Structure 1
Amino acid sequence: MSSGGYKKDESLEENRTDSGIESYRSLVKSDEPRESSGDFSAPRDKFSGGDERLDSAYGSSSITSLTEIVEECRISSSTEQAQISELSEQEENLLTTITEDGDTILHLAIIHEEEAIAQELIEIFPKDVLDIQNNLYQSPLHLATYLNLTEVVKGLLKKGASLELQDQDGNTALHMACQHGQTECATEMTSEVSLSKLAPVLETQNWRGLTCLHLAALNRQHQIMCLLMKKGADLNIQEGTSGKTALHLAVELHDITSVKHLLSKGANVDAAMFNGCTALHLAVGRQDAAIAHLLCQSGADTMLRNMEDETALDLADGNDDILALFPFDDIQISGRSVVGVKF
């Protein structure tokens, strides 16, 4: 895969899983790593997804020729060494090479959506190889998720592929599923993995400070949001730039469905951003009477002040529907609130 001129962060480079192929090479008969004998061609831009480049340095003929090789590599743990030792030098090189873009043959099979080949390679390779990250820090699980290859995702998870690896944007594979709406992949990652392994992933923030729940809220992925909440995602965790919770993000998007989901699961209605604004401040400031009403029904404190010393009422800007949400019992005429009363 092409790095697209991406300059690696040195701290990330230190943590990159790029030596796992050696554990596989130890299984083959040659002790010396060889240069790849695969048929390489120029990179091709088969896929492009914003910051995620999904192009391959392997020619399609190389992928096609894998079918016969993989058939010969169907191995059991009891005969692993014997069968691998029978591979030709060309086959060994093809299976153990890493391209100049950091891709293993498993990365490339996934990129080309050769699911059958990918599944065979998952069975053949040890876990360390499954977690190798390419030059964009994408693991095979990242790529399978991006391409919505649910069965490949399932196979990787079953073999123990790590959910915690982060790509060049700090996204785990679950982050990607939340961002792109890959609901089936997200379901596999939240149901096939133990809660102890899932918990740190749910708390992980990408380099923009966003957790999986934040991304699901930003992209209106209601079903995925429910999955994350069911698995114990922290509803009140703040994103790293301005301190917004998922509730703040849903309010900003006028997404009343997400607001209802979050409130029903116990999200803190009065959680404040770094500047002191609550979800009610945001709803009133955006003149969203429906969401403001829902927040008030859920017990939002109308008198909380932000760092500008403003209450939500101060942001109402004369909107009668909004003002009607803020009656003051101590300012009444004939038992009626003066709010909305014309003199």
Structure 2
Amino acid sequence: MSSDGCGKEDLQEDIRMDSGIESYISIVTSEEPREPTSDSIGPRDKFSTGEERLDSAYTSSSITVESLSDIVEGCTISSAEDVQAKMPELSKQENLLTTITEDGDTLLHLAIIHEDIFISQELIQLFPKEALDIQNNLYQSPLHLATYLNLKHVVTMLMKKGASLELQDQDGNTPLHVACQHGQLECVTEMTRDLPPSSLAPVLQTQNWRGLTCLHLSALNKQHHIMKLLMKKKADLNIQEGTAGKTALHLAVELHDMTSVKLLLKEGANVDAPMFNGCTPLHLAVGRQDAQIADLLCQFGADKMLRNMEDETALDLADGNNDILALFPFDDIQILGKSVKSF
């Protein structure tokens, strides 16, 4: 059987992020960033990729982190009065609003990374729409970062201001992918609330660099409420991921996730959808010795005689499991294309 065959455990998605938080700290406090230690857990740990940063798609400004610190000198991140006093000065220098650090972060990126909702909202109001979609060196937009950190109110403001939902980060994830993976139902709701179907459909069909759509990620992470919401938004239930051709139903079967399997089948997912190697969800259920899910698939009309590229039917994968063999009545067995019953 092929390496992508019916018995292979599914891949699990991991998200890598970067913060630029040290740059933010140096702007606000004018202190040198501290090297992370093995026993410290902070924003850098939370967003670290462990890899060399990618080049940004944007040209770095000649204004350095050090010169930016002069702008906010004496302004503490938690002081609303100080920030409000400083905002008119920033608004007169629009070039500073779109200035990026050596990590590709704008002031808005940095405010979001620091999880300061007040400053983030003030900057969103000041930023022109185009600047809201600037991506840092890891191709993360402010909306990506607000989603990673589950900052619902910032996500809402960004969406109302017209931030793009289609931008992909270095892993190919849109902000909606991120929310679906991490089970952030409120963020998913805010991102999809006011988008017309014509605008949302391309995002729901977008695959990350692992070939996974938002529905695939929701299924992989057993995010049932998000799956229901995506279905209401007309997500394609039968779209195949890009590596092995699995649908969300295949993924749910592999995870032995009865709840997702029931949900997908009741909403009309193709019970006989083939992977690139011809395996159907029933092949996977039988190959994993999951009699309960195999029985449910049969109740929804799964074709027991379909063959994969190894010329195997689901019955061929039963491996002597009596509970599964009981799902295949004698008169369903065929020899040379003829039912045994007819002999």
Normalised TM-score (structure 2): 0.76
- Which amino acid in structure 2 is aligned with residue 284 of structure 1? V
Match of 2:11 in 1: none
1:144–1:3: structure 2 CA closer, same or farther, 3 Å change rule? closer
Q: Check 1:242–1:69 CA distance in 2 against 1; reply closer, same or farther (3 A cut).
A: same
Shift of the 316–330 alpha-carbon distance from structure 1 to 2, 3 Å rule, reads: closer
Contact 1:214 1:246 (8 Å CA) reproduced: yes
1:42 to 33, 37, 47: 33
Which ranges of structure 1 fall in alignment gaps of 5 or more residues? 5-35, 75-82, 332-337, 339-343
Residue 64 of structure 1 aligns to a residue in which SS?
coil
Kindly indicate whether the alpha-carbon contact (under 8 Å) linking 2:241 and 2:247 is maintained by their aligned counterparts in 1: yes
Cα distance in 2 for partners of 1:137, 1:3 equals: 12
Query: In the superposition, relative to structure 1, how do residues 206 and 259 fare at CA in structure 2: closer, same or farther (>3 Å)?
Result: same
Q: Which residue of 2 aligns with 1:316?
A: 318
Moved over 3 A (4+): 1-4, 36-41, 47-53, 57-63, 65-70, 83-87, 91-96
Structure 1 residue 226: Cα displacement? 0.6
The within-5 A match list for 1:68-217 is 68=81, 70-72=83-85, 87=92, 95-217=97-219
> What's the CA shift for 1:189?
1.1
Q: Does the CA-based 8 Å contact 1:39-1:62 persist in structure 2?
A: no
Corresponding residue for 2:273? 271
1:31 paired residue number = none
- Paired amino acid for 1:112: H
Moved more, 185-194 or 263-272: 185-194
Distance change in 2, residues 1:240/1:86 (3 Å): closer
Q: Which has the higher contact order (CA 8 A, sep 6+)?
A: 2
Give aligned pairs, total: 289
Shift of 1:39: 3.7
Q: Is the 8 A contact 1:98 1:104 kept in 2?
A: yes
Q: When you count strand as a share of all residues, which structure comes out higher?
A: 1
The one-letter code sitting in structure 1 at the alignment partner of 2:158 is: L
Per the alignment, residue 297 of structure 1 pairs with 299
1:259 and 1:231 map into 2 onto residues whose CA distance is 19
Deviations 1:34-55 (A, max 9, x none): xx999464277514447668xx
Q: Is the 8 A contact 1:119 1:152 kept in 2?
A: yes
Q: Write the letter of the residue equivalent to 2:190.
A: E
Q: How far apart are the structure 1 equivalents of 2:202 and 2:137?
A: 24
Q: Pairwise CA RMSD of aligned residues?
A: 3.1
* In 1: Cα distance, 2:301 partner to 2:91 partner: 70
One-letter identity of the residue aligned with 2:77? T
- CA change 1:94–1:39 in 2 (3 A) is farther
Q: Distance in 2 between matches of 1:65 and 1:50?
A: 22
Instruction: Read off the aligned partner of 1:317 and give its amino acid letter.
Output: D
Q: Could you tell me which residue of structure 1 aligns to residue 284 of structure 2? A: 282
C-alpha distance 304-155 of structure 1, shift in aligned 2 (>3 A) = same
Distance 1:194 1:63 in 2: 40
How far off its partner does 1:95 sit?
3.5
TM-score, normalization by structure 1: 0.76
Distance verdict in 2 for CA 1:37–1:321, change over 3 Å: closer
- Where structure 2 has 5 or more consecutive residues not aligned to the other structure, the ranges are 1-16, 21-26, 37-41, 51-64, 334-339
- Matching residue's letter, 1:198: L
Identity of aligned residues (%): 71
Q: Is the 8 A contact 1:109 1:118 kept in 2?
A: yes
What is the distance in 1 between the residues matched to 2:29 and 2:216? 42
Tell me how far apart the structure 1 counterparts of residues 19 and 160 of structure 2 sit (CA, whole Å).
29
Residues 191-238 of structure 1 show CA distances to partners (whole Å, capped at 9, x for unaligned) of 132222111000000000000000000000000011111101100000
Between the aligned partners of 2:103 and 2:332, the Cα distance in structure 1 is 70
Which amino acid is the alignment partner of residue 137 of structure 1?
A: Y
